[in-house]
Amino acid sequence: MTLTFPDIEAAAARIAGRILRTPTVPAAVLSRLTGAEIWLKLDNLQAVGSFKERGAANRLSLLTPEECARGVVAMSAGNHAQGVARHATLLGIAATIVMPRFTPLAKVSGTAAWGAHVVLHGDTLVEAAAHAAHLAAHEGMVFISPYDDYAVMAGQGTLALEMIQDAPEFDVLLVPIGGGGLISGCAVAAAALSPRTQVIGVQVAPYSALAQRMGAPSHEVGGPTIAEGIAVRDIGLETRKVIAAHVAEVLVAPESCVEDAISMLAEGAKVVAEGAGAAALAGLLAHRERFAGKRIGLPVCGGNIDVRIMANVLLRGLLRDGRLLRLRMEIPDRPGVLADISTKIGAIGGNIIEVSHQRLFASPSVQSAQLEVMVEARDPAHAAEIQSALTNTYTVFRI
């Protein structure tokens, strides 16, 4: 068996009205920042916040009445889980979802809210998958793969079908790879509708086994990543066949680029993306010189990011960009010094965010104190100006 374009067309007809036909929009600010003409497919706007419900809706709609009565089981770090939970509930099918223990709370609670029974098991997707397979074998439930299933791949391929129909012809589609379901469907759709469009995969550095097999530098696979939605040790057996036939290249994006992509989407496109959802843009940022001047389609394939993680990513981005300045100063312990420092920063237009003043234990002398201050600046040049103004009077270290 293989995946064909008629399978994707049939899936599109089957799930029409049950999932959103999300917009494909130009991203002017991102295009200016990267030098490429970027178009975003906003599948973070789906009801469950992810493209994953496309494949889930298609696969569940093909179950027989007998299979529906048995119920379904799936394993997922969150988005496939919510897709299966939602569409199983809509069809009146009992669903059990096995999720790794590290899964962000937003995805766990979101899955339960769609009506599924959530089981937290194992520290990795591999361990969660093994437990889901055990439940399927011993309790008679139908296992719904997150990627290694042709009906799931066909459903995911509807994303590229819509994208190519709704936007000018692309030079490249950059597509994140976890288990390979999305890029399999997208590559088959692109080959049929726009043969000149290259489909290039993107993996995050800790989970880049496929890219390594295709020539990327070798290193151990695994470990923490902000892109937990594509933290898959290896792609599926069936998706591997489709990728081998239709995808010539897989790029690797480091974690820092994933964080930058989340920040850039939020600030530059007003789009909320999780790590996996921002991975396509991260791939472009990591290899931006090769995409300069080209029309690039990027699926924002998920927006289920924990609020605390989002806040930390944005703050870290400000630090890397030089718009958030952290300074440590040795200052004389006398009246008026803090007021003088505040006045100097304010006179240049800096905004003090946080101050920590240690007088007793952190300073090497009883005649001095240590001050840590966090300042918001307009840009790196403004930050340097603030630091220079303080250095004229005080001993200043940037941290």
Region 130-156: what's the mean pLDDT?
A: 94
| CA 168 vs CA 189, 201, 296, 298: distances in Å | 15, 21, 10, 13
* Position 360 pLDDT exceeds 70: no
- What is the CATH code of the structural domain delimited by 5-50+149-316? 3.40.50.1100
Which of 17-21, 77-81, 102-106, 179-183 bottoms out in mean pLDDT, i.e. has the lowest?
102-106
In the chain, CATH 3.30.70.260 sits at 322-398
pTM: 0.89
CB count within 10 Å of CB 87 equals 28
* Number of DSSP helices (H) and strands (E) in the chain, helices first: 17, 14
Say which DSSP state 18 is in: T
Structural contact between residues 106 and 307, judged by C-beta atoms closer than 8 angstroms: yes
- What is the CATH code of the structural domain delimited by 322-398? 3.30.70.260
> What letters, b where the CB count within 10 A reaches 16 and e where it falls short, cover 271-306?
bbbbbbbbbbbbbbbbbeeebeeebbbbbbbbbbbe
Region 182-193: what's the mean pLDDT?
A: 98
Residue with tokens 């988005």: 79
**pLDDT of res. 29:** 97
Distance CA 27, CA 385 (A): 32
| Tens of pLDDT, residues 220-241 | 888 889 998 898 888 999 999 9
- What is the CATH code of the structural domain delimited by 52-143? 3.40.50.1100
**pLDDT of res. 367:** 67
| Tens of pLDDT, residues 3-32 | 999 999 999 999 999 999 999 999 999 999
The percentage of residues in the chain with a pLDDT greater than 70, rounded to a whole number, is: 98
pLDDT band at 177 (very low <50, low <70, confident <90, very high): very high
In the chain, CATH 3.40.50.1100 sits at 5-50+149-316, 52-143
